[in-house]
Chains A and B, each alone.
Chain A
Amino acid sequence: MNNKKLIGNGFRFFIYGLVIAFVAWAIYNQYFSYIFSQSSTFLVLLRQHFVLVLVSSVLAILIAVPAGIVITRPKFRKAEWLITNIVNFGQTIPSLAVLALMISVLGIGFNTAVFALFIYSILPIFRNTVAGLDTIDPNLIDAAKGMGMKPSQILFRIELPNAVYSILAGIRTAVVLNIGTAALAYVVGGGGLGVWIFTGIQLFDNGFLISGAIPVTIMAILADYLLRKLENVLVPKGAREVSNT
Protein backbone atom coordinates (compact mmCIF):
# COMPACT_ATOMS: atom_id res chain seq x y z
CA MET A 1 0.00 0.00 0.00
CA ASN A 2 2.81 2.38 0.87
CA ASN A 3 4.62 1.56 -2.34
CA LYS A 4 1.54 2.34 -4.34
CA LYS A 5 1.17 5.62 -2.50
CA LEU A 6 4.81 6.43 -3.15
CA ILE A 7 4.53 5.72 -6.86
CA GLY A 8 1.28 7.69 -7.02
CA ASN A 9 2.84 10.68 -5.31
CA GLY A 10 5.98 10.44 -7.41
CA PHE A 11 3.91 10.39 -10.54
CA ARG A 12 1.88 13.36 -9.40
CA PHE A 13 5.02 15.39 -8.65
CA PHE A 14 6.44 14.43 -12.05
CA ILE A 15 3.34 15.82 -13.72
CA TYR A 16 3.46 18.97 -11.58
CA GLY A 17 7.09 19.37 -12.63
CA LEU A 18 6.18 19.12 -16.30
CA VAL A 19 3.44 21.69 -15.87
CA ILE A 20 5.79 24.09 -14.10
CA ALA A 21 8.42 23.65 -16.81
CA PHE A 22 5.81 24.29 -19.45
CA VAL A 23 4.53 27.39 -17.68
CA ALA A 24 8.10 28.66 -17.35
CA TRP A 25 8.64 28.13 -21.04
CA ALA A 26 5.40 29.96 -21.82
CA ILE A 27 6.32 32.85 -19.56
CA TYR A 28 9.74 33.05 -21.18
CA ASN A 29 8.07 33.42 -24.57
CA GLN A 30 5.56 35.92 -23.19
CA TYR A 31 2.65 33.68 -24.18
CA PHE A 32 0.64 34.93 -21.22
CA SER A 33 0.61 38.51 -22.37
CA TYR A 34 -3.11 38.39 -23.22
CA ILE A 35 -4.02 37.61 -19.61
CA PHE A 36 -2.59 41.01 -18.71
CA SER A 37 -3.27 43.04 -21.79
CA GLN A 38 -6.88 41.82 -21.97
CA SER A 39 -7.39 41.10 -18.32
CA SER A 40 -11.05 42.08 -18.18
CA THR A 41 -11.91 39.64 -20.98
CA PHE A 42 -9.80 37.02 -19.28
CA LEU A 43 -11.69 37.44 -16.02
CA VAL A 44 -15.03 37.16 -17.79
CA LEU A 45 -13.97 33.97 -19.56
CA LEU A 46 -12.48 32.55 -16.39
CA ARG A 47 -15.65 33.26 -14.47
CA GLN A 48 -17.78 31.74 -17.23
CA HIS A 49 -15.63 28.64 -17.20
CA PHE A 50 -15.86 28.37 -13.46
CA VAL A 51 -19.64 28.83 -13.42
CA LEU A 52 -20.09 26.27 -16.20
CA VAL A 53 -18.17 23.70 -14.19
CA LEU A 54 -19.72 24.60 -10.87
CA VAL A 55 -23.34 24.57 -12.04
CA SER A 56 -23.04 21.39 -14.07
CA SER A 57 -21.10 19.56 -11.35
CA VAL A 58 -23.46 20.56 -8.56
CA LEU A 59 -26.46 19.51 -10.65
CA ALA A 60 -24.78 16.20 -11.44
CA ILE A 61 -24.03 15.57 -7.76
CA LEU A 62 -27.58 16.47 -6.78
CA ILE A 63 -28.96 13.97 -9.29
CA ALA A 64 -26.37 11.18 -9.29
CA VAL A 65 -25.79 10.71 -5.54
CA PRO A 66 -29.48 10.42 -4.61
CA ALA A 67 -30.04 8.22 -7.70
CA GLY A 68 -27.24 5.93 -6.54
CA ILE A 69 -28.75 5.79 -3.06
CA VAL A 70 -32.25 5.06 -4.31
CA ILE A 71 -31.13 2.36 -6.68
CA THR A 72 -29.25 0.48 -3.95
CA ARG A 73 -32.32 0.30 -1.68
CA PRO A 74 -33.68 -3.26 -1.48
CA LYS A 75 -36.97 -2.18 -3.06
CA PHE A 76 -35.30 -0.85 -6.19
CA ARG A 77 -32.45 -3.31 -6.44
CA LYS A 78 -34.10 -5.11 -9.31
CA ALA A 79 -34.11 -1.94 -11.40
CA GLU A 80 -30.38 -1.38 -10.90
CA TRP A 81 -29.26 -3.01 -14.15
CA LEU A 82 -31.81 -0.96 -16.09
CA ILE A 83 -30.70 2.40 -14.70
CA THR A 84 -27.03 1.49 -14.97
CA ASN A 85 -27.53 0.56 -18.62
CA ILE A 86 -29.33 3.79 -19.36
CA VAL A 87 -26.55 5.80 -17.75
CA ASN A 88 -23.87 3.78 -19.53
CA PHE A 89 -25.68 4.25 -22.81
CA GLY A 90 -25.82 8.00 -22.24
CA GLN A 91 -22.05 7.96 -21.88
CA THR A 92 -21.48 6.19 -25.20
CA ILE A 93 -23.23 8.91 -27.23
CA PRO A 94 -20.43 11.04 -28.72
CA SER A 95 -20.06 14.48 -27.14
CA LEU A 96 -20.78 16.19 -30.41
CA ALA A 97 -24.00 14.26 -30.85
CA VAL A 98 -25.13 15.32 -27.38
CA LEU A 99 -24.24 18.90 -28.19
CA ALA A 100 -26.06 18.81 -31.51
CA LEU A 101 -29.09 17.34 -29.81
CA MET A 102 -29.03 19.94 -27.06
CA ILE A 103 -28.65 22.81 -29.50
CA SER A 104 -31.81 21.71 -31.26
CA VAL A 105 -33.70 21.75 -27.96
CA LEU A 106 -32.12 24.48 -25.85
CA GLY A 107 -30.60 26.56 -28.61
CA ILE A 108 -27.09 27.95 -28.41
CA GLY A 109 -25.51 29.29 -25.24
CA PHE A 110 -24.79 28.72 -21.58
CA ASN A 111 -27.72 26.38 -20.86
CA THR A 112 -26.80 23.95 -23.57
CA ALA A 113 -23.20 23.85 -22.41
CA VAL A 114 -24.21 23.29 -18.80
CA PHE A 115 -26.62 20.57 -19.76
CA ALA A 116 -24.05 18.69 -21.83
CA LEU A 117 -21.45 18.91 -19.05
CA PHE A 118 -24.05 17.80 -16.53
CA ILE A 119 -24.88 14.69 -18.59
CA TYR A 120 -21.20 13.80 -18.76
CA SER A 121 -20.63 14.20 -15.05
CA ILE A 122 -23.48 11.98 -13.97
CA LEU A 123 -21.97 8.61 -14.82
CA PRO A 124 -18.76 8.67 -12.76
CA ILE A 125 -20.58 10.03 -9.74
CA PHE A 126 -23.48 7.62 -10.05
CA ARG A 127 -21.23 4.64 -10.64
CA ASN A 128 -19.00 5.41 -7.67
CA THR A 129 -21.96 6.03 -5.39
CA VAL A 130 -23.44 2.66 -6.28
CA ALA A 131 -20.06 0.93 -6.00
CA GLY A 132 -19.37 2.54 -2.63
CA LEU A 133 -22.73 1.46 -1.24
CA ASP A 134 -22.53 -1.99 -2.82
CA THR A 135 -19.15 -2.86 -1.37
CA ILE A 136 -20.32 -2.39 2.22
CA ASP A 137 -20.23 -5.74 3.99
CA PRO A 138 -23.84 -7.03 4.14
CA ASN A 139 -23.06 -8.28 7.66
CA LEU A 140 -22.77 -4.67 8.79
CA ILE A 141 -26.23 -3.91 7.50
CA ASP A 142 -27.51 -7.09 9.13
CA ALA A 143 -25.97 -6.17 12.47
CA ALA A 144 -27.40 -2.65 12.24
CA LYS A 145 -30.84 -3.99 11.45
CA GLY A 146 -30.60 -6.58 14.20
CA MET A 147 -29.82 -3.88 16.74
CA GLY A 148 -32.95 -1.97 15.83
CA MET A 149 -31.68 0.80 13.56
CA LYS A 150 -34.23 2.23 11.17
CA PRO A 151 -33.46 2.17 7.43
CA SER A 152 -32.73 5.91 7.44
CA GLN A 153 -30.38 5.51 10.42
CA ILE A 154 -28.61 2.67 8.64
CA LEU A 155 -28.22 4.84 5.54
CA PHE A 156 -26.89 7.94 7.28
CA ARG A 157 -24.87 6.38 10.08
CA ILE A 158 -23.49 3.28 8.42
CA GLU A 159 -23.82 3.20 4.66
CA LEU A 160 -22.98 6.75 3.63
CA PRO A 161 -20.03 7.24 6.01
CA ASN A 162 -18.51 4.04 4.71
CA ALA A 163 -19.23 4.89 1.07
CA VAL A 164 -18.23 8.56 1.16
CA TYR A 165 -14.67 7.79 0.11
CA SER A 166 -15.85 6.17 -3.09
CA ILE A 167 -18.49 8.84 -3.74
CA LEU A 168 -15.95 11.64 -3.36
CA ALA A 169 -13.56 9.84 -5.71
CA GLY A 170 -16.35 9.80 -8.30
CA ILE A 171 -17.03 13.49 -7.78
CA ARG A 172 -13.35 14.30 -8.11
CA THR A 173 -13.07 12.36 -11.38
CA ALA A 174 -16.18 14.06 -12.72
CA VAL A 175 -15.13 17.59 -11.78
CA VAL A 176 -11.60 17.27 -13.15
CA LEU A 177 -12.91 15.87 -16.44
CA ASN A 178 -15.57 18.52 -16.45
CA ILE A 179 -13.04 21.36 -16.23
CA GLY A 180 -11.29 20.05 -19.33
CA THR A 181 -14.48 19.33 -21.23
CA ALA A 182 -15.87 22.77 -20.43
CA ALA A 183 -13.37 24.20 -22.91
CA LEU A 184 -15.68 22.75 -25.57
CA ALA A 185 -18.49 25.02 -24.39
CA TYR A 186 -17.18 27.54 -26.87
CA VAL A 187 -18.51 25.32 -29.67
CA VAL A 188 -22.08 25.86 -28.50
CA GLY A 189 -21.59 29.47 -27.58
CA GLY A 190 -21.31 28.72 -23.90
CA GLY A 191 -18.26 30.90 -23.36
CA GLY A 192 -15.45 29.99 -20.99
CA LEU A 193 -11.72 29.75 -21.58
CA GLY A 194 -12.42 27.58 -24.62
CA VAL A 195 -13.04 30.84 -26.45
CA TRP A 196 -9.33 31.76 -26.29
CA ILE A 197 -8.17 28.20 -26.87
CA PHE A 198 -10.17 27.86 -30.06
CA THR A 199 -9.27 31.36 -31.17
CA GLY A 200 -5.64 30.43 -30.69
CA ILE A 201 -6.08 27.27 -32.73
CA GLN A 202 -7.85 29.11 -35.54
CA LEU A 203 -5.37 32.00 -35.71
CA PHE A 204 -2.27 29.86 -35.01
CA ASP A 205 -1.69 32.20 -32.07
CA ASN A 206 0.15 30.43 -29.26
CA GLY A 207 -0.50 33.38 -27.01
CA PHE A 208 -4.29 32.93 -27.06
CA LEU A 209 -3.99 29.16 -26.97
CA ILE A 210 -1.78 29.10 -23.93
CA SER A 211 -3.48 31.96 -22.11
CA GLY A 212 -6.62 29.81 -22.33
CA ALA A 213 -5.20 26.34 -21.80
CA ILE A 214 -2.90 26.93 -18.84
CA PRO A 215 -5.57 28.42 -16.57
CA VAL A 216 -7.79 25.45 -17.42
CA THR A 217 -5.01 23.07 -16.43
CA ILE A 218 -4.30 24.93 -13.23
CA MET A 219 -7.99 24.94 -12.41
CA ALA A 220 -8.12 21.16 -12.86
CA ILE A 221 -5.06 20.56 -10.68
CA LEU A 222 -6.43 22.88 -8.03
CA ALA A 223 -9.82 21.15 -8.04
CA ASP A 224 -8.13 17.77 -7.73
CA TYR A 225 -6.05 19.01 -4.80
CA LEU A 226 -8.96 20.63 -2.96
CA LEU A 227 -11.23 17.64 -3.39
CA ARG A 228 -8.52 15.36 -2.01
CA LYS A 229 -8.29 17.65 1.00
CA LEU A 230 -12.06 17.40 1.35
CA GLU A 231 -11.70 13.62 1.52
CA ASN A 232 -9.57 13.99 4.60
CA VAL A 233 -12.30 16.04 6.22
CA LEU A 234 -15.36 14.05 5.19
CA VAL A 235 -14.21 10.44 5.29
CA PRO A 236 -14.43 9.11 8.87
CA LYS A 237 -11.06 8.06 10.25
CA GLY A 238 -11.96 4.41 10.66
CA ALA A 239 -13.48 4.13 7.19
CA ARG A 240 -10.45 5.84 5.70
CA GLU A 241 -8.03 3.24 7.00
CA VAL A 242 -10.26 0.47 5.75
CA SER A 243 -10.66 1.87 2.26
CA ASN A 244 -6.91 2.35 1.98
CA THR A 245 -6.05 -1.27 2.69
Chain B
Amino acid sequence: MITFNQVTKKYSSEKTAVKNVDFTVDEGKIVVLLGPSGCGKTTLLRMVNRLESITEGSIVIDDEDSMDLDAIELRRKIGYVIQSNGLFPNMTIEENVMIVPDLLGWNKKKKTERFTYLMKLIGLDPKIYKKRYPHELSGGQQQRIGVVRALAADPPVMLMDEPFGALDPIIREKIQDEFLQIQREVKKTILFVSHDIDEAIKMADKIMLLRDGEIMQYDTPSEMLTHPKNDFVNQFFGKDRAIKSLSLHTVKDLQEVIGLAEMDESIYDTKTINVNQDLRNTLSMLLNQEADQVIVTNDEGKRIGSITIDLVQKYLHFEIKGKLSVSQEG
Protein backbone atom coordinates (compact mmCIF):
# COMPACT_ATOMS: atom_id res chain seq x y z
CA MET B 1 0.00 0.00 0.00
CA ILE B 2 1.24 3.48 -0.87
CA THR B 3 -0.27 6.53 0.80
CA PHE B 4 0.35 10.07 -0.40
CA ASN B 5 -0.26 12.63 2.34
CA GLN B 6 -0.68 16.15 0.96
CA VAL B 7 2.36 15.74 -1.26
CA THR B 8 3.71 18.85 -2.95
CA LYS B 9 6.73 19.20 -5.22
CA LYS B 10 8.30 22.53 -6.04
CA TYR B 11 11.24 22.52 -8.46
CA SER B 12 11.66 26.24 -7.76
CA SER B 13 9.64 28.93 -6.06
CA GLU B 14 7.66 29.50 -9.28
CA LYS B 15 7.50 25.92 -10.54
CA THR B 16 5.14 23.69 -8.60
CA ALA B 17 4.96 20.34 -10.36
CA VAL B 18 2.69 18.54 -7.88
CA LYS B 19 0.17 20.23 -5.60
CA ASN B 20 -1.27 18.76 -2.39
CA VAL B 21 -1.77 15.31 -3.79
CA ASP B 22 -3.57 13.02 -1.38
CA PHE B 23 -4.52 9.44 -2.25
CA THR B 24 -3.89 5.78 -1.53
CA VAL B 25 -2.84 2.93 -3.78
CA ASP B 26 -4.33 -0.24 -2.33
CA GLU B 27 -2.32 -3.40 -1.88
CA GLY B 28 -2.09 -5.49 -5.04
CA LYS B 29 -3.79 -2.89 -7.24
CA ILE B 30 -2.66 -1.00 -10.33
CA VAL B 31 -3.17 2.74 -10.21
CA VAL B 32 -2.55 4.53 -13.49
CA LEU B 33 -1.35 8.12 -13.33
CA LEU B 34 -2.90 9.70 -16.38
CA GLY B 35 -2.84 13.20 -17.79
CA PRO B 36 -1.38 15.47 -20.47
CA SER B 37 2.37 15.84 -20.81
CA GLY B 38 3.92 17.94 -18.07
CA CYS B 39 1.09 17.43 -15.57
CA GLY B 40 3.46 15.93 -13.00
CA LYS B 41 3.04 12.16 -13.46
CA THR B 42 6.74 11.35 -13.60
CA THR B 43 7.51 13.71 -10.74
CA LEU B 44 4.88 12.07 -8.56
CA LEU B 45 6.25 8.63 -9.39
CA ARG B 46 9.87 9.55 -8.76
CA MET B 47 9.08 10.96 -5.35
CA VAL B 48 8.06 7.48 -4.22
CA ASN B 49 11.56 6.03 -4.60
CA ARG B 50 13.12 9.38 -3.76
CA LEU B 51 14.70 10.05 -7.12
CA GLU B 52 13.03 13.41 -6.53
CA SER B 53 12.81 15.02 -3.12
CA ILE B 54 9.43 15.72 -1.53
CA THR B 55 8.91 19.44 -0.86
CA GLU B 56 5.92 19.07 1.45
CA GLY B 57 3.87 16.18 2.74
CA SER B 58 4.87 12.55 3.01
CA ILE B 59 4.66 9.22 1.21
CA VAL B 60 4.04 6.15 3.31
CA ILE B 61 4.81 2.70 1.89
CA ASP B 62 3.40 -0.23 3.87
CA ASP B 63 3.19 1.78 7.10
CA GLU B 64 6.71 3.13 6.75
CA ASP B 65 7.44 6.76 5.90
CA SER B 66 9.69 6.79 2.85
CA MET B 67 11.91 9.37 4.49
CA ASP B 68 12.64 7.08 7.45
CA LEU B 69 14.52 4.64 5.27
CA ASP B 70 17.90 5.01 3.64
CA ALA B 71 17.23 5.98 0.01
CA ILE B 72 19.40 3.15 -1.36
CA GLU B 73 17.66 0.57 0.83
CA LEU B 74 14.24 1.95 -0.09
CA ARG B 75 14.93 1.72 -3.83
CA ARG B 76 16.01 -1.90 -3.61
CA LYS B 77 12.56 -2.69 -2.24
CA ILE B 78 10.76 -0.95 -5.09
CA GLY B 79 10.68 -2.21 -8.66
CA TYR B 80 11.39 0.51 -11.20
CA VAL B 81 10.65 0.33 -14.94
CA ILE B 82 11.21 3.19 -17.38
CA GLN B 83 10.13 3.76 -20.96
CA SER B 84 13.56 3.39 -22.51
CA ASN B 85 13.94 0.03 -20.69
CA GLY B 86 17.27 1.13 -19.16
CA LEU B 87 18.98 -2.21 -19.78
CA PHE B 88 22.74 -2.00 -19.37
CA PRO B 89 24.43 -2.76 -22.70
CA ASN B 90 27.60 -4.06 -21.06
CA MET B 91 25.77 -6.75 -19.13
CA THR B 92 24.16 -9.98 -20.27
CA ILE B 93 20.43 -10.49 -19.86
CA GLU B 94 21.02 -12.56 -16.74
CA GLU B 95 23.28 -9.94 -15.22
CA ASN B 96 20.76 -7.25 -16.04
CA VAL B 97 17.83 -9.11 -14.52
CA MET B 98 19.77 -10.11 -11.42
CA ILE B 99 21.08 -6.65 -10.53
CA VAL B 100 18.97 -6.06 -7.43
CA PRO B 101 19.31 -9.65 -6.11
CA ASP B 102 23.02 -9.18 -6.65
CA LEU B 103 23.02 -5.91 -4.70
CA LEU B 104 21.11 -7.70 -1.95
CA GLY B 105 23.75 -10.43 -1.85
CA TRP B 106 21.68 -13.43 -2.93
CA ASN B 107 23.66 -16.62 -3.51
CA LYS B 108 24.18 -18.05 -6.97
CA LYS B 109 21.68 -20.87 -6.67
CA LYS B 110 18.88 -18.60 -5.54
CA LYS B 111 19.68 -16.17 -8.35
CA THR B 112 19.68 -18.89 -11.01
CA GLU B 113 16.35 -20.24 -9.80
CA ARG B 114 14.80 -16.81 -9.74
CA PHE B 115 16.12 -15.99 -13.21
CA THR B 116 14.65 -19.19 -14.61
CA TYR B 117 11.29 -18.49 -12.98
CA LEU B 118 11.16 -14.91 -14.26
CA MET B 119 12.11 -15.80 -17.82
CA LYS B 120 9.39 -18.44 -17.93
CA LEU B 121 6.95 -15.81 -16.72
CA ILE B 122 7.55 -13.81 -19.90
CA GLY B 123 7.86 -16.82 -22.14
CA LEU B 124 11.56 -16.50 -22.97
CA ASP B 125 13.85 -19.52 -22.73
CA PRO B 126 16.27 -18.83 -19.86
CA LYS B 127 18.99 -21.00 -21.41
CA ILE B 128 18.92 -19.14 -24.70
CA TYR B 129 18.71 -15.62 -23.33
CA LYS B 130 20.99 -15.95 -20.32
CA LYS B 131 24.20 -15.07 -22.13
CA ARG B 132 22.68 -12.72 -24.72
CA TYR B 133 23.18 -8.98 -24.62
CA PRO B 134 20.37 -6.41 -24.72
CA HIS B 135 21.15 -5.23 -28.25
CA GLU B 136 20.56 -8.76 -29.53
CA LEU B 137 16.88 -8.58 -28.46
CA SER B 138 13.88 -6.96 -30.11
CA GLY B 139 12.30 -3.87 -28.57
CA GLY B 140 9.45 -5.92 -27.14
CA GLN B 141 11.79 -8.47 -25.62
CA GLN B 142 13.95 -5.74 -24.12
CA GLN B 143 10.92 -4.17 -22.49
CA ARG B 144 9.84 -7.55 -21.09
CA ILE B 145 13.29 -7.94 -19.60
CA GLY B 146 12.96 -4.43 -18.16
CA VAL B 147 9.75 -5.53 -16.45
CA VAL B 148 11.10 -8.77 -14.98
CA ARG B 149 14.24 -7.00 -13.89
CA ALA B 150 12.03 -4.82 -11.72
CA LEU B 151 10.34 -7.95 -10.37
CA ALA B 152 13.62 -9.73 -9.70
CA ALA B 153 13.90 -9.29 -5.95
CA ASP B 154 10.14 -9.68 -5.55
CA PRO B 155 9.48 -6.12 -4.32
CA PRO B 156 5.99 -5.44 -2.97
CA VAL B 157 5.77 -2.16 -4.86
CA MET B 158 6.45 -1.36 -8.53
CA LEU B 159 6.83 2.00 -10.24
CA MET B 160 6.41 1.99 -14.00
CA ASP B 161 6.90 5.16 -16.07
CA GLU B 162 5.26 4.69 -19.47
CA PRO B 163 6.83 1.23 -19.64
CA PHE B 164 5.25 0.32 -22.97
CA GLY B 165 5.18 3.81 -24.46
CA ALA B 166 7.97 3.21 -26.98
CA LEU B 167 6.53 0.01 -28.45
CA ASP B 168 4.44 -0.23 -31.58
CA PRO B 169 0.71 -0.70 -30.98
CA ILE B 170 0.44 -4.42 -31.71
CA ILE B 171 3.35 -5.42 -29.50
CA ARG B 172 2.20 -2.95 -26.86
CA GLU B 173 -1.20 -4.61 -26.58
CA LYS B 174 0.39 -8.01 -26.37
CA ILE B 175 2.76 -6.99 -23.61
CA GLN B 176 -0.07 -5.24 -21.74
CA ASP B 177 -2.07 -8.49 -21.76
CA GLU B 178 0.98 -10.45 -20.72
CA PHE B 179 1.69 -8.02 -17.92
CA LEU B 180 -1.87 -8.21 -16.60
CA GLN B 181 -1.50 -11.97 -16.62
CA ILE B 182 1.70 -11.70 -14.61
CA GLN B 183 0.09 -9.24 -12.22
CA ARG B 184 -2.68 -11.77 -11.52
CA GLU B 185 0.05 -14.07 -10.31
CA VAL B 186 2.37 -11.67 -8.48
CA LYS B 187 -0.18 -9.13 -7.17
CA LYS B 188 2.12 -6.15 -6.78
CA THR B 189 1.08 -2.70 -5.68
CA ILE B 190 1.73 -0.71 -8.83
CA LEU B 191 1.92 2.93 -9.79
CA PHE B 192 1.84 3.08 -13.57
CA VAL B 193 2.34 6.28 -15.57
CA SER B 194 0.62 6.58 -18.93
CA HIS B 195 -0.60 9.28 -21.26
CA ASP B 196 -2.61 6.80 -23.32
CA ILE B 197 -6.30 6.68 -22.37
CA ASP B 198 -6.85 3.20 -23.78
CA GLU B 199 -3.88 1.84 -21.90
CA ALA B 200 -5.10 3.43 -18.68
CA ILE B 201 -8.59 1.96 -19.04
CA LYS B 202 -7.15 -1.43 -19.76
CA MET B 203 -4.49 -1.61 -17.08
CA ALA B 204 -5.97 0.34 -14.20
CA ASP B 205 -7.88 -0.78 -11.16
CA LYS B 206 -8.09 2.93 -10.53
CA ILE B 207 -7.12 5.92 -12.63
CA MET B 208 -5.68 9.11 -11.21
CA LEU B 209 -6.25 11.92 -13.69
CA LEU B 210 -3.92 14.88 -13.16
CA ARG B 211 -3.78 18.40 -14.53
CA ASP B 212 -1.01 20.85 -13.67
CA GLY B 213 -0.02 18.77 -10.67
CA GLU B 214 -3.52 18.56 -9.22
CA ILE B 215 -5.88 15.62 -8.95
CA MET B 216 -8.84 15.99 -11.28
CA GLN B 217 -10.45 12.66 -10.43
CA TYR B 218 -9.43 9.42 -8.78
CA ASP B 219 -11.78 6.58 -9.62
CA THR B 220 -12.22 3.23 -11.29
CA PRO B 221 -12.05 3.42 -15.08
CA SER B 222 -15.77 2.82 -15.49
CA GLU B 223 -16.71 5.45 -12.92
CA MET B 224 -14.39 7.88 -14.65
CA LEU B 225 -15.99 7.20 -18.01
CA THR B 226 -19.56 7.17 -16.85
CA HIS B 227 -19.42 9.83 -14.16
CA PRO B 228 -16.75 12.40 -14.99
CA LYS B 229 -16.47 14.80 -12.09
CA ASN B 230 -15.79 17.94 -14.12
CA ASP B 231 -15.41 19.32 -17.62
CA PHE B 232 -11.73 18.54 -17.76
CA VAL B 233 -12.28 14.85 -17.12
CA ASN B 234 -15.18 14.83 -19.55
CA GLN B 235 -13.14 16.42 -22.32
CA PHE B 236 -10.04 14.41 -21.59
CA PHE B 237 -11.77 11.13 -22.25
CA GLY B 238 -13.50 12.65 -25.26
CA LYS B 239 -16.70 12.02 -27.16
CA ASP B 240 -15.94 8.38 -27.76
CA ARG B 241 -15.55 7.60 -24.08
CA ALA B 242 -18.71 5.50 -24.27
CA ILE B 243 -17.05 3.29 -26.85
CA LYS B 244 -13.86 3.25 -24.80
CA SER B 245 -15.83 2.05 -21.81
CA LEU B 246 -16.90 -0.97 -23.83
CA SER B 247 -13.48 -2.48 -23.39
CA LEU B 248 -14.26 -2.76 -19.68
CA HIS B 249 -17.13 -5.14 -20.29
CA THR B 250 -17.30 -8.62 -21.72
CA VAL B 251 -19.91 -10.43 -23.74
CA LYS B 252 -20.70 -12.29 -20.53
CA ASP B 253 -21.57 -9.01 -18.77
CA LEU B 254 -23.95 -8.22 -21.59
CA GLN B 255 -25.43 -11.67 -21.44
CA GLU B 256 -26.08 -11.33 -17.73
CA VAL B 257 -27.80 -7.97 -18.08
CA ILE B 258 -29.81 -8.18 -21.29
CA GLY B 259 -29.15 -11.67 -22.60
CA LEU B 260 -27.90 -12.81 -25.99
CA ALA B 261 -29.86 -13.04 -29.22
CA GLU B 262 -30.93 -16.35 -30.66
CA MET B 263 -28.77 -17.91 -33.31
CA ASP B 264 -29.81 -17.71 -36.91
CA GLU B 265 -29.18 -21.36 -37.76
CA SER B 266 -29.22 -20.64 -41.49
CA ILE B 267 -25.89 -18.86 -41.23
CA TYR B 268 -22.99 -21.22 -40.76
CA ASP B 269 -19.89 -19.44 -41.95
CA THR B 270 -20.29 -16.59 -39.54
CA LYS B 271 -17.49 -15.85 -37.12
CA THR B 272 -17.54 -16.90 -33.51
CA ILE B 273 -16.43 -15.05 -30.44
CA ASN B 274 -15.60 -16.20 -26.93
CA VAL B 275 -17.98 -15.12 -24.19
CA ASN B 276 -15.07 -13.60 -22.25
CA GLN B 277 -14.07 -11.31 -25.08
CA ASP B 278 -14.49 -7.59 -24.34
CA LEU B 279 -17.30 -5.68 -26.02
CA ARG B 280 -15.05 -3.23 -27.79
CA ASN B 281 -13.40 -6.00 -29.76
CA THR B 282 -16.77 -7.59 -30.29
CA LEU B 283 -18.11 -4.37 -31.74
CA SER B 284 -15.22 -3.96 -34.14
CA MET B 285 -15.71 -7.57 -35.20
CA LEU B 286 -19.38 -6.92 -35.85
CA LEU B 287 -18.57 -3.81 -37.84
CA ASN B 288 -16.09 -5.68 -40.00
CA GLN B 289 -18.48 -8.56 -40.55
CA GLU B 290 -20.95 -8.66 -43.40
CA ALA B 291 -23.55 -10.53 -41.44
CA ASP B 292 -25.14 -8.64 -38.59
CA GLN B 293 -24.56 -11.29 -35.98
CA VAL B 294 -21.59 -13.09 -34.47
CA ILE B 295 -21.97 -16.45 -32.75
CA VAL B 296 -20.96 -16.49 -29.10
CA THR B 297 -19.20 -19.58 -27.76
CA ASN B 298 -18.46 -20.53 -24.18
CA ASP B 299 -15.13 -21.82 -22.91
CA GLU B 300 -15.93 -25.35 -24.05
CA GLY B 301 -16.50 -24.04 -27.56
CA LYS B 302 -20.25 -24.62 -27.38
CA ARG B 303 -22.44 -22.10 -29.24
CA ILE B 304 -24.59 -20.36 -26.66
CA GLY B 305 -26.21 -17.59 -28.66
CA SER B 306 -25.34 -14.67 -30.87
CA ILE B 307 -24.63 -11.00 -30.51
CA THR B 308 -25.64 -8.08 -32.73
CA ILE B 309 -24.76 -4.41 -33.06
CA ASP B 310 -28.19 -3.59 -31.68
CA LEU B 311 -27.51 -5.51 -28.52
CA VAL B 312 -24.17 -3.81 -27.95
CA GLN B 313 -25.82 -0.46 -28.45
CA LYS B 314 -28.56 -1.33 -26.00
CA TYR B 315 -26.01 -2.42 -23.42
CA LEU B 316 -23.98 0.73 -23.97
CA HIS B 317 -27.02 2.87 -23.48
CA PHE B 318 -27.85 0.98 -20.33
CA GLU B 319 -24.34 1.31 -18.93
CA ILE B 320 -23.77 4.94 -19.73
CA LYS B 321 -27.16 6.34 -18.92
CA GLY B 322 -26.92 5.45 -15.26
CA LYS B 323 -28.08 1.85 -15.36
CA LEU B 324 -31.57 2.39 -16.79
CA SER B 325 -33.70 -0.66 -16.54
CA VAL B 326 -33.88 -2.36 -19.86
CA SER B 327 -36.63 -4.72 -20.72
CA GLN B 328 -35.22 -8.11 -21.44
CA GLU B 329 -35.75 -8.94 -25.04
CA GLY B 330 -33.58 -11.69 -25.98
B-binding residues in A (CB < 8 A): 137, 139-140, 142-150, 153, 157-158, 161-162, 236-239, 241-242, 245
Contacts and interface: CB of A to CB of B under 8 A. Distances in A.
Contacts of A236: 90-91
The range of chain B's interface size is 20 to 34
A40 B167 CA distance: 68
Contact of B88 (A144, A148, A241): A144
A161 B96 CA distance: 14
Contacts of B90: 158, 161-162, 236, 238-239
Contacts of A142: 51, 82, 86
28 contacts: A139-B82, A140-B88, A142-B82, A143-B88, A144-B86, A146-B49, A146-B78, A146-B159, A147-B76, A147-B103, A148-B73, A148-B74, A148-B75, A148-B76, A149-B99, A153-B103, A157-B88, A158-B88, A158-B90, A161-B90, A162-B89, A162-B90, A236-B91, A237-B133, A238-B89, A238-B91, A238-B134, A245-B135
A148 B105 CA distance: 13
Majority-rule SS of B interface residues: mixed
Given A140-B88, A142-B51, A146-B51, A238 B75 contact: no
Considering residues B86, B88, B99, B150, which has the most beta carbons from chain A within 10 angstroms of its beta carbon? Answer: B88
Contacts, number: 74
Interface string B54-72: 0000000000000000001
Nearest to B93: A238
B135 to A, nearest CB: 5
A25 B82 CA distance: 63
B249 to A, nearest CB: 36
A235 to B, nearest CB: 8
A145 B76 CA distance: 10
Given A143-B80, A145-B51, A146-B80, A238 B103 contact: no
Contacts of A139: 82, 84, 86
